[in-house]
A = this chain, B = another copy of it.
Amino acid sequence: MEDAVEALARKGPSSAEIADWIRTQIRSNRFVPGQRLVEVDIIRQTGGSRFKVREAYQRLAADGLVEIEEFRGAKVRGASMDEVRQLYRARAALEGLCAADFTERASKADRERLQEIAAAMEECVENERPEEFGRLNAEWHQLLMRGAGNMVIEQVVKRLNSPVHHLLFGTFYRGERLREAAHDHREILAAIMANDAAGAEKAMRGHVENGLKFLRELDEAVHFHS
C-alpha cells in the first residue's frame, strides 16, 4: 500500500485536500485577498475535478476564508483592521480562559512540555531564528488549549486566525516583537507554574492584546488589508 501520493495519482485529491491546498496558498500569500479563485485554474493546479473544487469552496466559505458570489465564483476574503481587532479581542478572551484552565487542570506532562517549548523559544530569540520561533509559538498556544481540556476553543481559535494567518509568518516575529513575545511568554509561564490561574489569564490576555497592538502599528505603516 502506497501513501497519499499514490492515492492522489490514482483518484485525484479529495475536496478536503483541495481545501487544505487552497488554505496553504492563502496562508503563504500566494493567493492574496480579493483574488478570484477561478475553478479551472484550481483544477489544473490540484488535479481535482470541478465538483470537488466547488465542494472545497463551500467549506472555505463557511470557514470565512473565501467569499462566494453568485456567478462570480469564490475570491479570497480580506479582513478590515476593525475585524482584526474584534478577532483579537475574541482570541484574548478564549486563550485567557485556557491559560486559567490550564493552570488548574493540566497534567504534569503537559506542564513540563510547556516549559520545554518555552525554553526552546528562548534559544530562538537569542539566535534570531524567527521562523523556528513562529513554529514553536503555534505549538505552545496549541498545547495550552489542549492542556486546558478544551478542543472546542482550539478549533475556534484556529478559525479566527485564518484570515490573518498569512501575516503571522514572515513579517510578524522579528526584532523587537520577538523579544516582546518572549517576555509575555515568561510572564504567562511564571503564573501557571505558581498556580495563579487569574494571573495566567490576565497575562495571556495582555499577550494577545500586544499582538493586536503590533498589527495596528504595522497597519499604520503599510496598509496591507483590503
Contact = CB atoms under 8 A, between A and B. Distances in A.
A97 B89 contact: yes
Nearest to A205: B97
B86 A90 contact: no
Interface string A4-46: 0000000000010000000000000000000000000000000
A63 B64 CA distance: 11
Nearest to A83: B152
**A interface SS class:** helix
Interface stretch (A52-60, A112-120, A180-188): A52-60
B58 A152 contact: no
B62 A156 contact: no
A66 to B, nearest CB: 12
Contact of A93 (B62, B96, B149): B96
Copies in the complex: 2
B152 A156 contact: no
Q: How large is the interface on A (under 10, 10 to 19, 20 to 34, 35 or more residues)?
A: 20 to 34
A124 interface: no
A195 interface: no
A94 B96 CA distance: 10
B55 A90 contact: no
A90 B58 contact: no
A159 B160 CA distance: 13
Contact of A150 (B86, B97, B101): B86
Contacts of A197: none
A156 B61 CA distance: 14
A101 B93 CA distance: 12
12 contacts: A55-B55, A55-B58, A58-B58, A59-B61, A61-B62, A62-B63, A86-B149, A87-B152, A93-B96, A93-B97, A94-B94, A156-B156
A-B pairs with the 6 shortest C-beta distances? A62-B62, A58-B58, A86-B152, A93-B97, A93-B93, A86-B150
Given A59-B62, A87-B152, A89-B150, 9 more contacts: A54-B55, A58-B59, A59-B59, A62-B63, A86-B149, A86-B152, A89-B101, A93-B96, A156-B159
